[in-house]
Amino acid sequence: MKELFRSNDMVLISYLEHRLREENIETLILDSHMSIMEGSLGVLPRRMMVAEEDLVRAKVILDEVRQTHGLDI
């Protein structure tokens, strides 16, 4: 697995996960349970991982999401 991006914006993570799933790209979200350790403040970013063979396609989708929604991620 390779890291696609990291963020503490759960809405963005959910949306991107949905977009990738539409393209049959499976994701793995790491560090989502760290909020227990940090006191549920949402400070620690979650990492979105994809299979190495899907990384190039996933980056294209990430760029589309960035451009479409004017995001700086």
pLDDT of residue 32: 81
pLDDT category, 9, cuts 50, 70, 90? Answer: confident
CATH of the domain at 55: 3.30.70.790
Average pLDDT, the chain: 89
**CA-closest candidate to residue 5, choices 45, 53, 69, 48:** 48
The yes-or-no verdict on residue 72 having pLDDT over 80 is no
The yes-or-no verdict on residue 6 having pLDDT over 80 is yes
What's the rounded Cα separation, in Å, for the pair 34 and 44?
Answer: 7
In contact, 6 and 44? CB cutoff 8 Å? no
Task: Find the domain containing 26 and state its range.
Answer: 2-69
11-34, pLDDT tens digit by residue? Answer: 999 999 999 999 999 999 998 877
**What total number of domains does the chain contain?**
1
Q: Crossing angle for the helix pair 55-69 and 10-22, nearest 10 degrees?
A: 130
C-alpha distances in Å from residue 11, one per residue of 17, 43, 45, 52: 10, 15, 13, 24
27-30 sheet: strands from edge to edge? 2-7, 46-50, 27-30
